[in-house]
Structure 1
C-alpha cells in the first residue's frame, strides 16, 4: 500500500547548544530516503553559563546557519516539518527576542521542546540500534548545554522484528560539552591535564548517583541484562578515532561498538594533548577541539557509573526521531499532526 503522495517531503531541524542540524527526506516505499542535509557548529550557547543570555555573535552565527536551512526547505518544497530548539533556548533569558529574529530573517518558527520530549525524540531516532535480546538499556545524549539520560525497557517488536521501547525514567543534567567546559574554563589551560579531568568526571558522577539508586541500575548491570547506547558528537568522534578514519564517515561510525578499554585509551591520549594538538585530529578539528575534554569527562562518568563494558554508537537522534514521527503521522492518515514549515505558509 502506498501511504504517500509523490509530492510529500519531510524535514527535521534540531537546533542545540552547539550544532544546527537539518534532514530532509522523501518517501521510498514505506520508509523515508534522505535527499538533503545540513550541519553546522554554531555554538549558540557560548557564554550562556555565565551570562544567562544568548550573545549577539552567537545569535548572528545561528541565524546565518538557519538561513541555509530555510533555503534548503524552500528548494526541496518541503510539505511536512518540525523545527525544534533545545537547551540553549530553554535557558536563555532573551530567547523570545532570538526566536522573533529567526522568524523575521528566515521565516522559520522554532519550537522549544522540553527535556522529556527531546529525550523521547532522541530515543525514537536511535531505537533501531538497540538489541531486543537485552531487556534494559541506558541511553544517553551528550549535548552542548545538557546531557539527557534515559532508563529504557526493551522488548522485541510485535512482529518479531525490531524493538519496542518504554521510557521508564529520564533526567536532563545541565552538564554538556559547552556548559561543563565553561564551568572549568579557568582550569582548562594547556597542561592542566588529568587532575582537572578527574574533577570534571567526579562532578558528573555525583549528578548521576540518585538516578542510579532510584532504579537500581548498577545491580541490573551486574546481572548482565543492560545494554548501552550513546548518541553524541563525543561518542561518534571517539568511534571515528578508534576506526582510524582519515576523515569522519557517518556510515562507518553509526552502529559501531566501542569497548570501554578503547574509550579509556583514546580519552587518556586526548587529555594529554593540548587544544592545538586535538585540533589536528581529523575527526575533531579546530572548532570542537576545546570541547572534547568535557565530552570525554561526561562519557567517562557514564562508563564508570554503569560498567556495561561496551556501548553502541549512534550517529542519529532528534532529527531522525522527528522524521519517524512525521512518517507515522502520515501513515496513520492524520497529516495535520505534522507541522507545515512557516517559511512556506501563505
Structure 2
C-alpha cells in the first residue's frame, strides 16, 4: 500500500479532514474528505476563551475522524488549529481532550496558515496572483513580490464579522450591517495591505467554495466542478443580494449552501467583495486546494 497521510484543520467555523495517498506520478490522490460545522470560535472575538460546549462539538467531530483515519490505515497524521485557537488563552481545554483520542494539536501561526495555502495551491497559480482564504476568524493573503512570496493573516473572518456587526442572524440581512462590515474591512485592508493591485485573484477555503457551489446550485459538493470555476463581481453581488433578502430558515434551503453556514456566509461574501473592490478586480477563480491540501502534500513529500 502507498504512503497515506491525514490532515485535520480545526477552524473557527468547521473541522475538516482530508486523507491522501501517494501515487506513481510524484503527486497524491485524495481518498476522502469530511467536514463538520463545529463553530469553535463562538464568542471568541468578545471573550478570548473557548466555550466548553464548543470544545465538546469539536471533540465529537474528531472522534468521528479518528474512526475514519483508523479505517484507512493512515501512517501520518497532522492536526492543526488556526485563528480561534490563536486568539484564546485556554486552548489547553481542547488539546487535553484530543490527547485522549490520540491526536496531538498543533496551533499554527497566521503566517504558517498562509504558507500551507500556498503549498496547496501553488501548482495552479499564475505568476501575478493574489491567493486569498476567507476563514471564520481570519483571512489569509499570499502574493508575489520581486523574487519572494508574501504571507499575511488579518483578523477579518466571517464568524468574527457576523458576531461583531449582525444583531439578528435569523432575520433578513440589513443594509446597515452590510455597510458596517464593508467599511470595517476596507479600512482594515487599507491600513494592513500594500501591494501592486494588478493581480489575478485565486480563492480557496469554505466561504469561496461555498459561493461556487451556490452559483452552480450543487445538491452535493463536487470538487471537480468547483476547481478553476470563474466568478465575476456582478455574480457575487447578485448572490449577496439574493441571500440577504432571505431570512435564515429560507437561506438554509438554498442549494449549494450548507445549512450550518447560512448565518455567516453573507459576512464572508461581503469580505470577498471588499477585497475585490480594494484590488480593483472584477473576477476570481476558485480552488479547493487550500491549507489542508498543502498539509497532506507536506506530509507525503517529507
Answer yes or no: is 1:146 the counterpart of 2:138: yes
CA displacement 1:47-97 (0-9 Å, x = unmatched): 112221111111001001111122222222221222211111111121012
Measure, in 2, the Cα distance between the counterparts of 1:186 and 1:38.
31
Structure index of larger Rg: 1
- The residue that corresponds to 2:21 in the other structure is 26
Contact 2:173 2:247 in 1 (8 A): no
2:260 alignment partner, SS class = coil
2:280 alignment partner, SS class = coil
How many residues were matched structurally?
Answer: 301
CA displacement 1:110-157 (0-9 Å, x = unmatched): 1111111000001111122223xxx32111110011111222259xxx
Measure, in 1, the Cα distance between the counterparts of 2:76 and 2:202.
29
Measure, in 2, the Cα distance between the counterparts of 1:149 and 1:7.
34
Measure, in 2, the Cα distance between the counterparts of 1:73 and 1:247.
23
CA displacement 1:231-285 (0-9 Å, x = unmatched): 1222212212222333332221122111111111211221222212211102113
Answer yes or no: is 1:306 the counterpart of 2:302: no
Q: TM-score, normalised by structure 1?
A: 0.82
Answer yes or no: is 1:92 the counterpart of 2:88: yes
Structure 1 residues 105-144: aligned runs within 5 Å:
106-131=101-126, 135-144=127-136
Measure, in 1, the Cα distance between the counterparts of 2:76 and 2:228.
28
- The residue that corresponds to 2:70 in the other structure is 74
Q: Which moved more, 1:189-198 or 1:137-146?
A: 189-198
Measure, in 1, the Cα distance between the counterparts of 2:80 and 2:172.
38
- The residue that corresponds to 1:50 in the other structure is 46
Answer yes or no: is 1:194 the counterpart of 2:175: yes
Answer yes or no: is 1:248 the counterpart of 2:205: no
Q: TM-score, normalised by structure 2?
A: 0.93
Measure, in 2, the Cα distance between the counterparts of 1:291 and 1:191.
12
- The residue that corresponds to 1:227 in the other structure is 200
2:232 to 259, 282, 285: 259
Measure, in 1, the Cα distance between the counterparts of 2:205 and 2:20.
22
2:111 alignment partner, SS class = helix
Measure, in 1, the Cα distance between the counterparts of 2:144 and 2:37.
30
Query: Which segments of 5 or more consecutive residues in structure 1 lack a partner in the other structure?
Result: 1-5, 155-164, 330-346
Report the Cα offset of residue 326 of structure 1: 1.8
Query: Which segments of 5 or more consecutive residues in structure 2 lack a partner in the other structure?
Result: none
